[in-house]
Amino acid sequence: MTQATSASDAGAAVRLADSVIRAQAIYSMAANRNVYRAIAVRDEWIVAVSEAPDGLDGLIGPGTKVIDEPGLTILPAFDDDHSHFILAAENLGLVQANQAHSIAELVELIRRRAASAPAGQWIRTSTTWDESNLAERRLPTAVELDQATSEHPVWVKKGGHEGVANSLALHLAGITSATADPPHGTIQRAADGTPTGVLLSAPAMSLIERLIPPPPLEQQVQNLRQACQLYNTYGIGSVRDPIVTREQLLVYQALWERGGLTVRSRPMYLVPTGPAAERTADIASLGVRSGFGDDLLKIWGLKSLMDGGPFAAALDQPYANNPNSSGNPFWQTDDLVEVANFAVRRGWRIGIHAIGDRAVRTVLDAYERVTADNPGLKPGTLVIEHAFLADETQRARARRLGVGVTVQHPLLYEQGAQLLAGWGKERTGQILPIRSWVEAGVQVSAGSDSPPTSFDPMQALWGMVTRGTKQIGVQGPDEAVDQYTAMQLYTAASAELNWESARRGTLQPRRLADLMAYRTDPITCPVEQLLGLRPVFTMVGGRVVYDRESLFDEQG
Ligand SMILES: [Zn+2]
């Protein structure tokens, strides 16, 4: 049975398909769960699909590329719902801290970079690493980093919530034993009060980061181009980038203009915690709003944070390793409601980072008031990022309020040991209740939160299916989902989070031709085979952006 778009599409009056692909299985990932055997692409679009391998042969003309590969499995390209893509791009140009296996090796990598940099220039590491890869299993100190250079300020950042400065950087920032901790931030100190170099949480890290000049625009554009090419080799066709500054949007636009943006990007502007009047003025001055852009580059919305990382989460019960603390939400609920009301009335969508149960509940408290204040708000206008701890009551509220939820198993995979230490066994097993989110009918989608985590979607899929982690084994096996569901959350559901289901995210006619092909079927293969699985080719908007086996070459 053929589900061609219409008779006229296949008629003689219009150009025939640019490519027709015949494969073992072409998963539509649409609600009907249809699986096809042939798909036709013309320009940017999927124009027809067929359950019969030869069902689209009528669309083949002299200029049509025919890929006849009965072993291939075709799926919608990955859409990572929470990917710090511009940061990943920037990381490509920095010291690759993930290559170090000890503090001495890390110091050596920094020393080598410093040797070719003029004195005074900042030396920074990529944020995509973790101290669990170091023999010492801890962050370095300022004194240790000083062994690499005393001529350059050094900033060794890990993920989004921790960083280490060398002594020169501490000096330039004016951080001494007399410096008080900024609100919601910690300057880590030795027993005698001397700063160790370690700064915890954004408010403390910004003491250093505000001093670091951005790389030249041209360098940033080249980094982003390289990141696009790299992500395409993993089948990634779209990302939603949760923190993009106004300056970084220029990087996206420059690459978009040059035709190099081969990963569809959905930037979010960060709205820091602060007085409502200041924040609403910020938002008013942005000049655009959600939805501005085209299919390649489009503003998603605003981003803010209700709490921090594993040790800066706002929890209902105290930390397992610190009975005197349960963390604090960053926002006053009244302020957040005022800012969110202002934003949604100007057409903005909002995603708020919340991991602790108290943070998730506080965001939902605010969202409940915002939905009451703004009747008819479109479901999915308000989103919670991560939502690590959310019990049945909070899940039901999210469903009732039309709040979207984004989940990223790679965080649990990578940070499991810290979460176990800080949150204890019971809470760690409850983190990311993905299956329960799906069963509660909440609009949920999946991603990586890379960096610091891996951006490899197959690792995330493996994690969602096994609930496995890097160091602490399986956590919360009841929240595992099957391979089809995991793939659906990482493709079609992410397109839905972007309100773009009518244009992309599934393989059916009149959708953008964003697809990837595998020699092993990721839906039916043994779960361990997912790890390391890479596509044969990736197509974004009908353009072949990765072609490992040169299947699309003229002679191919
Ligand atoms: Zn993030």
pLDDT digits (tens, 9 = 90+) for 389-424: 999 999 999 999 999 999 999 999 999 999 999 999
Q: Is the pLDDT of residue 6 over 70?
A: no
Report phi then psi at 9, rounded to 5: -60, -35
How many A from CA of 242 to the centre of ligand 1? 6
Q: How far is the CA of 4 from the centre of ligand 1 (A)?
A: 40
- Global pTM reads 0.87
pLDDT in tens, 374-391: 999 999 999 999 999 999
Give strand pairing partners of 27.
Answer: 35
Q: How confident is the model at residue 7 (pLDDT cuts 50, 70, 90)?
A: very low
Ligand 1 centre from 177 Cα, in Å? 31
* Predicted confidence (pLDDT) at residue 8 exceeds the cutoff of 50: no
* 35 alpha carbon – ligand 1 mean position (Å): 33
What does the mean pLDDT of the chain come to? 95
Q: How does residue 289 score in pLDDT terms, banded at 50, 70 and 90?
A: very high
* Distance of alpha carbon 23 from alpha carbon 536, whole angstroms: 13
Distance of CA 6 from the midpoint of ligand 1 (Å) = 43
The rounded Å distance from CA 88 to ligand 1 centre is 12
> How far is C-alpha 23 from the chain's CA centre?
30
Rounded distance from Cα 160 to ligand 1 centre (Å): 7
Calculate how far, in angstroms, residue 387's C-alpha sits from the geometric centre of ligand 1.
12
379 C-alpha to ligand 1 centroid (Å): 22
Residue 2 has pLDDT above 50, yes or no: no
Distance 159 CA to ligand 1 centre (A): 9
Mean pLDDT (whole number) for 451-458: 92
- According to the model, what pLDDT value does residue 555 have? 55
pLDDT by residue (tens digit) across 353-371?
A: 999 999 999 999 999 999 9
d(CA 491, CA 488): 5
Question: How many A from CA of 243 to the centre of ligand 1?
Answer: 8
The alpha carbon of 127 and the centre of ligand 1 are apart by a number of angstroms equal to 12
Compute the distance from residue 408 Cα to the ligand 1 centre, in Å. Answer: 9
Please tell me the predicted confidence (pLDDT) of residue 556: 44
Closest CA to 450 of 295, 224, 242: 242
Is the pLDDT at 5 greater than 60, yes or no? Answer: no
**Distance of CA 223 from the midpoint of ligand 1 (Å):** 20
pLDDT of residue 13: 53
Ligand 1: distance of its center to the CA of 445 in Å? Answer: 14
CA atoms within 13 A on the CB side of 249: 20
Span from the CA of 38 to the centroid of ligand 1 (angstroms): 37
Count the neighbouring beta carbons within 10 Å of the beta carbon of residue 210.
8
**Ion ligand 1, residue ranges at CB < 5 A:** 242, 449
* Average pLDDT, integer, range 55-83: 96
